[in-house]
Amino acid sequence: MKKYMTLFTGIAVVLALGSTAAFAQQAETTVKFPELKSTYLKTGDFVNLENLKKIAAGLHKDQVRLLLGNPHFSEGIGNPHVWDYAFNFYTGQMGGDYVTCQYQVQYDKDYHINATYWKDKQCEGFLHEAPPPAPRVAEPITLSADGLFAFGRSDLNSLQTKGRENLRQLAGQINSGLSKLTSVSIVGYSDRIGLPKTNLALSRARAVTVKKYLVQQGVPANLITTSGMGPANPVVNCPGPASPRTIACLMPNRRIEVTLNGEK
């Protein structure tokens, strides 16, 4: 476990009377802190954050003691008007890394809080929870292979006019639809008509061609993966031998599925 000591100039945080926030505003006052090594609590204290957030102007010293405990330096005897603490906060980085922050509470003549201070102004940030991450989404998009490619073809030159337009629109959606794009999955499918090996190769080749076109439209190549599934996972089942009617019925199976992964 790695421990960091704070070594910054004192930054004052003055409490307005009646405020429920422990750190209402910063002042230019320079505050004297004791040497951290002089604390009797050599390991620091992993303070209860909810209790620390309750510290506010006007609280009596006894209330502070209930929330934070006794001061961590030799200040508990003789009714001093300053209490100092050494609080530990986990950094959220590797392992159990944490930082030790010095915190000071100052009292008025009647032993009510009139100000609190952090030695390192960055320490106040540990009181505030990080904003929740943007929701991660997976948006599936299905394109008809018949609308993209000429029959039995998979190269860029075989892309039909409407197919190119569909891919241009898809590229625009990819480039602007998510605040952060993490990956694009392109999976090609075929129908069951023909040799399985041929259908598998065709579905793979069409997925690769769609990737090439999207890259030409500005989609980052390193975010795109491609694969072909041949006749697997059919959308419809149309029995019977190969015939114009059966081939037309199987059209939904000849498709390209594109899944966008990222953050809204």
- CATH number, domain of 154, equals 3.30.1330.60
Domain span including residue 19: 3-127
Q: Report pLDDT digits (tens) over 94-122.
A: 567 889 999 999 999 999 999 999 998 88
Q: Are both 105 and 157 inside the same structural domain?
A: no
The count of domains in the chain is 2
Instruction: Among 79, 103, 127, give the residue marking a domain's end.
Output: 127
Q: Are both 118 and 140 inside the same structural domain?
A: no
Q: Are both 104 and 11 inside the same structural domain?
A: yes
Strands 98-107 and 3-5, by their bridges, are: parallel
Q: Report pLDDT digits (tens) over 118-144.
A: 998 888 888 876 666 666 777 789 999
Half-sphere exposure (CA, 13 Å, Cβ side) for 43? 4
Q: Are both 158 and 120 inside the same structural domain?
A: no
Q: What is the pLDDT of residue 76?
A: 60
Instruction: Among 69, 102, 127, give the residue marking a domain's end.
Output: 127
Instruction: Among 110, 127, 144, give the residue marking a domain's end.
Output: 127
Q: What is the pLDDT of residue 10?
A: 36
Q: Report pLDDT digits (tens) over 20-56.
A: 344 433 434 578 999 999 998 888 899 999 999 999 9
Q: What is the pLDDT of residue 138?
A: 76
Q: Are both 253 and 171 inside the same structural domain?
A: yes
Q: Are both 101 and 200 inside the same structural domain?
A: no
Q: Are both 11 and 101 inside the same structural domain?
A: yes
Q: Are 145 and 39 a contacting pair, CB within 8 Å?
A: no
Q: Are both 145 and 92 inside the same structural domain?
A: no
Backbone angles phi, psi at 91, to 5 degrees: -85, -15
Residues 6 or more apart in contact with residue 154 via CB below 8 angstroms: 202, 205, 206, 208, 209
